[in-house]
């Protein structure tokens, strides 16, 4: 049976883009009889900061409104009004800042990069009949820069690189980016209608050399910058070294889940597919049947794992796809599951953006009424 088994669906809360309202501060009033000049309104900036995520911004500022301070009015005591304070939005590194119309305002590639998103109004002066101007107001989008649509997650023996080669139309290429030191291998899947989907893998990492110490942040960083996750396990399980215990495919799935959870829990809310590789091995069919049963009721089988390796929440995979990267079995089917999963999310995203814009329009018309 080679259909996409769709095992439940949970739409997660990994945030890879945010729409915010920003407004510069208004200028201060001028003072006509003494020629006094009002202070300029503050500007709004987006600033790249360490250890920040878009989800944190969303949780901390549910209103998603950022307004800079107004400039002070000119007065007898201070003819030149004080400038309004700027407003800084602390954002993660590796972000593109755009307007609602998709015009790029700037990129945050390294810590400390700044992009001005809304200018403060100028203070009232002789040239404006001492009337101040309002600050700029607009909606902006913060988008996490992606390295690929799908990110591979798996232990070294799972056959990730041979899978990437089997899926790709050409030899996967090493790519480099301005916003990260990662140099993942990127494979391109090309479909009959010429649509392209990219898949990223970080080669040359012994991800679980010390099972409990984690695969290293470097490996998991590439997973953050993909839309969805592609877990890859060896159907017959694995043993990393002669001293480490043998792990079944089910245990491998849970260990990988635990690794992601320890690194950044919100990663687990990304949509995920499970590829069960090496179906050409003897007994593979029986082992696959066993794995599927275990994934249906993970709680019943978690006593196979040491306490500190049991994830807090089990992942629900959109598709469980058996393949053999060596013989090519299941590869074209996997390509269609990947496409289906990404298309599904793209459609949901269009709906969500549409809804958000409609709500904004309704609010505007209520404001006018």
| pLDDT of res. 144 | 92
pLDDT band at 275 (very low <50, low <70, confident <90, very high): very high
β strands within 112-162, DSSP E: 114-118, 137-144, 148-153
Q: What is the pLDDT of residues 183-237, one digit of tens each?
A: 889 999 999 999 999 999 976 555 444 444 555 666 778 888 999 999 999 999 9
- Determine phi and psi for 197, rounding to 5 degrees: -130, 135
pLDDT band at 71 (very low <50, low <70, confident <90, very high): very high
DSSP 324: -
Integer-rounded Cα radius of gyration of the chain: 26
What share of the chain has pLDDT > 70, as a percent? 92
27-to-38, 40, 71, 194, 227 alpha-carbon distances in Å: 6, 5, 5, 52, 42
State how far the Cα of 279 lies from the Cα of 266, in Å rounded to an integer.
Answer: 31
CA 314-320-324 angle, to 5 degrees, is 130
Average pLDDT over residues 110-120: 97
State how far the Cα of 289 lies from the Cα of 140, in Å rounded to an integer.
Answer: 48
Cβ atoms of residues 91 and 142 within 8 Å: yes
79-to-33, 76, 82, 128, 132 alpha-carbon distances in Å: 11, 6, 9, 16, 14
Q: How many CB atoms lie within 10 A of CB 104?
A: 11
Cβ atoms of residues 254 and 302 within 8 Å: yes
For the chain, domains (ranges, CATH) are 17-145 (2.70.210.12), 148-348 (3.40.50.300)
| pLDDT of res. 245 | 82
Average pLDDT over residues 87-107: 95
């Amino acid at each position: 049976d080679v259909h996409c088994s769709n095992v439940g669906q949970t739409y997660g809360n990994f945030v890879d883009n945010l729409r915010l309202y920003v407004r510069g501060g208004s200028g201060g009033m001028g003072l006509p009889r003494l020629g006094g000049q009002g202070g300029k309104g503050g500007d709004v900036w987006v600033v790249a900061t360490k250890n920040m995520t878009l989800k944190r911004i969303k949780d901390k500022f549910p209103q998603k409104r950022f307004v800079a301070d107004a400039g002070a009015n000119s007065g007898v005591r201070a003819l030149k009004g004080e400038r309004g304070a700027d407003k800084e939005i602390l954002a993660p590194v590796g972000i593109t800042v755009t307007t609602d119309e998709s015009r790029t305002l700037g990129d945050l590639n390294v810590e400390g990069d700044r992009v001005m998103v809304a200018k403060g109004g100028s203070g009232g002066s002789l040239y404006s009949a001492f009337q101040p101007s309002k600050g700029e107001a607009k909606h902006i989008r913060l988008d996490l820069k992606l390295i690929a649509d799908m990110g591979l997650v798996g232990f070294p023996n799972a056959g990730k690189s041979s899978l990437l080669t089997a899926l790709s139309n050409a030899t996967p290429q090493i790519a480099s980016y301005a916003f990260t030191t990662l140099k993942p291998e990127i494979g391109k899947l090309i479909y009959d209608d010429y649509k392209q989907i990219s898949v990223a893998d970080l080669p040359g990492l012994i991800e679980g050399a010390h099972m409990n110490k984690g695969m290293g942040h470097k490996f998991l960083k590439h997973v953050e910058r993909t839309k969805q996750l592609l877990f890859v396990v060896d159907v017959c399980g694995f043993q990393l070294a002669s001293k480490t215990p043998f792990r079944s495919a089910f245990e491998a799935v849970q260990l990988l889940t635990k690794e992601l959870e320890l690194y950044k829990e919100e990663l687990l809310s990304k949509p995920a597919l499970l590829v069960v590789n090496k179906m050409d091995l003897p007994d593979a069919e029986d082992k696959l049947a066993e794995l599927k049963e275990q994934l249906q009721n993970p709680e019943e089988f978690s006593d196979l794992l040491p306490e500190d390796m049991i994830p807090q929440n089990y992942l629900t995979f959109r598709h469980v796809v058996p393949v053999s990267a060596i013989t090519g079995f299941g590869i074209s089917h996997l390509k269609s599951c990947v496409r289906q999963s990404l298309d599904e999310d793209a459609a949901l995203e269009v709906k969500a953006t549409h809804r958000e814009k409609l709500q904004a329009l309704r609010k505007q018309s209520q404001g006018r009424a």
